[in-house]
Protein backbone atom coordinates (compact mmCIF):
# COMPACT_ATOMS: atom_id res chain seq x y z
CA UNK A 1 0.00 0.00 0.00
CA UNK A 2 1.19 3.51 -0.82
CA UNK A 3 -0.06 6.43 1.28
CA UNK A 4 0.27 10.16 0.73
CA UNK A 5 0.36 12.02 4.05
CA UNK A 6 -0.46 15.72 3.91
CA UNK A 7 0.35 18.23 6.65
CA UNK A 8 -1.84 21.19 5.73
CA UNK A 9 -0.56 24.70 6.25
CA UNK A 10 -1.15 28.16 4.85
CA UNK A 11 2.55 28.76 4.03
CA UNK A 12 4.01 25.26 3.90
CA UNK A 13 1.90 22.21 3.06
CA UNK A 14 4.03 19.20 3.83
CA UNK A 15 3.73 15.97 1.88
CA UNK A 16 5.19 12.54 2.33
CA UNK A 17 4.56 9.32 0.43
CA UNK A 18 5.27 6.05 2.22
CA UNK A 19 5.11 2.49 0.89
CA UNK A 20 4.34 -0.53 3.03
CA UNK A 21 6.57 -3.21 1.52
CA UNK A 22 5.80 -6.94 1.29
CA UNK A 23 8.07 -7.67 4.27
CA UNK A 24 6.18 -5.07 6.41
CA UNK A 25 9.00 -2.52 6.19
CA UNK A 26 8.17 1.10 5.51
CA UNK A 27 9.88 3.04 2.72
CA UNK A 28 9.85 6.76 1.98
CA UNK A 29 9.07 7.40 -1.69
CA UNK A 30 9.26 11.20 -1.60
CA UNK A 31 8.73 14.05 0.84
CA UNK A 32 8.87 17.80 0.89
CA UNK A 33 6.61 20.83 1.11
CA UNK A 34 4.64 23.03 -1.20
CA UNK A 35 5.66 26.59 -0.27
CA UNK A 36 3.36 29.49 -0.99
CA UNK A 37 3.88 33.17 -0.24
CA UNK A 38 1.78 34.70 2.54
CA UNK A 39 1.77 37.87 0.41
CA UNK A 40 -0.20 36.14 -2.36
CA UNK A 41 -4.01 36.27 -2.25
CA UNK A 42 -5.56 33.19 -0.64
CA UNK A 43 -7.13 31.93 -3.91
CA UNK A 44 -3.68 31.96 -5.55
CA UNK A 45 -2.15 30.03 -2.63
CA UNK A 46 -4.95 27.47 -2.69
CA UNK A 47 -4.54 27.01 -6.44
CA UNK A 48 -0.79 26.37 -6.06
CA UNK A 49 -1.36 23.87 -3.27
CA UNK A 50 -4.03 22.10 -5.31
CA UNK A 51 -1.84 21.92 -8.41
CA UNK A 52 1.13 20.66 -6.40
CA UNK A 53 -0.92 17.91 -4.75
CA UNK A 54 -2.53 16.89 -8.05
CA UNK A 55 0.93 16.56 -9.62
CA UNK A 56 2.16 14.43 -6.70
CA UNK A 57 -0.87 12.18 -6.94
CA UNK A 58 -0.51 11.84 -10.70
CA UNK A 59 3.23 11.11 -10.55
CA UNK A 60 3.33 8.73 -7.55
CA UNK A 61 -0.16 7.18 -7.63
CA UNK A 62 -0.86 6.65 -3.92
CA UNK A 63 -3.60 4.22 -2.86
CA UNK A 64 -4.84 6.42 -0.03
CA UNK A 65 -4.44 9.94 1.34
CA UNK A 66 -4.21 10.81 5.03
CA UNK A 67 -4.38 14.26 6.59
CA UNK A 68 -4.31 15.70 10.07
CA UNK A 69 -7.53 16.86 11.71
CA UNK A 70 -7.72 20.53 12.65
CA UNK A 71 -7.00 20.59 16.35
CA UNK A 72 -6.00 24.11 17.30
CA UNK A 73 -5.58 27.49 15.72
CA UNK A 74 -4.35 30.74 17.19
CA UNK A 75 -7.56 32.47 16.13
CA UNK A 76 -10.70 32.01 14.07
CA UNK A 77 -9.16 33.55 10.95
CA UNK A 78 -6.24 31.07 11.08
CA UNK A 79 -8.64 28.17 11.59
CA UNK A 80 -10.68 29.21 8.55
CA UNK A 81 -7.58 29.50 6.35
CA UNK A 82 -6.34 26.10 7.51
CA UNK A 83 -9.80 24.67 6.78
CA UNK A 84 -9.58 26.00 3.24
CA UNK A 85 -6.21 24.29 2.70
CA UNK A 86 -7.61 21.04 4.11
CA UNK A 87 -10.57 21.35 1.73
CA UNK A 88 -8.23 21.78 -1.24
CA UNK A 89 -6.22 18.72 -0.11
CA UNK A 90 -9.39 16.63 0.22
CA UNK A 91 -10.64 17.81 -3.16
CA UNK A 92 -7.33 16.93 -4.86
CA UNK A 93 -7.55 13.42 -3.39
CA UNK A 94 -11.26 12.94 -4.11
CA UNK A 95 -10.83 14.21 -7.68
CA UNK A 96 -8.29 11.43 -8.21
CA UNK A 97 -10.74 8.88 -6.78
CA UNK A 98 -8.77 8.42 -3.55
CA UNK A 99 -10.18 7.90 -0.07
CA UNK A 100 -9.10 10.40 2.58
CA UNK A 101 -8.48 9.38 6.18
CA UNK A 102 -8.25 12.00 8.91
CA UNK A 103 -6.26 11.58 12.12
CA UNK A 104 -5.96 13.64 15.27
CA UNK A 105 -2.50 14.81 16.35
CA UNK A 106 -2.83 12.49 19.37
CA UNK A 107 -3.49 9.48 17.10
CA UNK A 108 -0.55 10.35 14.84
CA UNK A 109 1.88 10.71 17.73
CA UNK A 110 0.60 7.51 19.34
CA UNK A 111 0.99 5.54 16.10
CA UNK A 112 4.51 6.82 15.41
CA UNK A 113 6.06 7.31 18.85
CA UNK A 114 3.76 5.26 21.07
CA UNK A 115 2.90 8.31 23.17
CA UNK A 116 0.20 10.81 22.22
CA UNK A 117 1.86 13.77 23.91
CA UNK A 118 5.25 13.27 22.25
CA UNK A 119 7.33 16.32 21.38
CA UNK A 120 7.83 17.35 17.74
CA UNK A 121 11.50 16.28 17.75
CA UNK A 122 10.54 12.82 19.08
CA UNK A 123 8.13 12.36 16.17
CA UNK A 124 10.80 13.50 13.71
CA UNK A 125 13.36 11.07 15.16
CA UNK A 126 10.93 8.14 15.02
CA UNK A 127 9.95 8.97 11.43
CA UNK A 128 13.66 8.93 10.56
CA UNK A 129 14.13 5.55 12.26
CA UNK A 130 10.97 3.91 10.94
CA UNK A 131 11.80 4.90 7.37
CA UNK A 132 15.53 4.15 7.76
CA UNK A 133 16.49 7.65 6.60
CA UNK A 134 19.97 9.16 6.95
CA UNK A 135 18.65 12.40 8.42
CA UNK A 136 15.48 14.03 9.72
CA UNK A 137 13.31 15.10 6.76
CA UNK A 138 13.27 18.81 6.01
CA UNK A 139 11.28 20.95 6.34
CA UNK A 140 9.51 19.91 9.54
CA UNK A 141 6.22 19.87 7.60
CA UNK A 142 7.58 17.02 5.46
CA UNK A 143 8.44 14.98 8.57
CA UNK A 144 4.93 15.65 9.90
CA UNK A 145 3.39 14.51 6.60
CA UNK A 146 5.45 11.30 6.71
CA UNK A 147 4.21 10.73 10.28
CA UNK A 148 0.62 11.09 9.06
CA UNK A 149 1.23 8.51 6.30
CA UNK A 150 2.89 6.12 8.79
CA UNK A 151 -0.07 6.55 11.14
CA UNK A 152 -2.45 5.51 8.37
CA UNK A 153 -0.36 2.48 7.44
CA UNK A 154 -0.17 1.34 11.07
CA UNK A 155 -3.90 1.95 11.57
CA UNK A 156 -4.83 0.10 8.36
CA UNK A 157 -2.63 -2.86 9.35
CA UNK A 158 -4.28 -3.00 12.78
CA UNK A 159 -7.76 -2.94 11.23
CA UNK A 160 -6.79 -5.76 8.83
CA UNK A 161 -5.50 -7.92 11.70
CA UNK A 162 -8.65 -7.30 13.71
CA UNK A 163 -10.87 -8.16 10.75
CA UNK A 164 -8.91 -11.36 10.03
Specify the pLDDT at position 114: 93
Specify the pLDDT at position 4: 98
Active site (catalytic) residues: 7, 68, 141
Specify the pLDDT at position 79: 85
What domains sit in the chain, N to C, each tagged with a CATH number? Answer: 2-163 (3.30.420.10)
CA 47/CA 55 separation, integer angstroms: 12
Specify the pLDDT at position 161: 64
pTM: 0.94
Q: Could you report the average pLDDT of every consecutive run of 10 residues in the chain (164 residues)?
A: 96 97 96 97 97 98 94 77 95 97 95 93 97 96 98 82 66
Specify the pLDDT at position 156: 81
Specify the pLDDT at position 71: 65
Specify the pLDDT at position 67: 97
Specify the pLDDT at position 147: 98
Amino acid sequence: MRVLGIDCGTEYTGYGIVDLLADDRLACVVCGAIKVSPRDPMPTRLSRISTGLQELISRHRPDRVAIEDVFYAANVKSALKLGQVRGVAMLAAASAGLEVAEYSPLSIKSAVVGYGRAEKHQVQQMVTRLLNLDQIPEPADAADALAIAICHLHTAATHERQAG
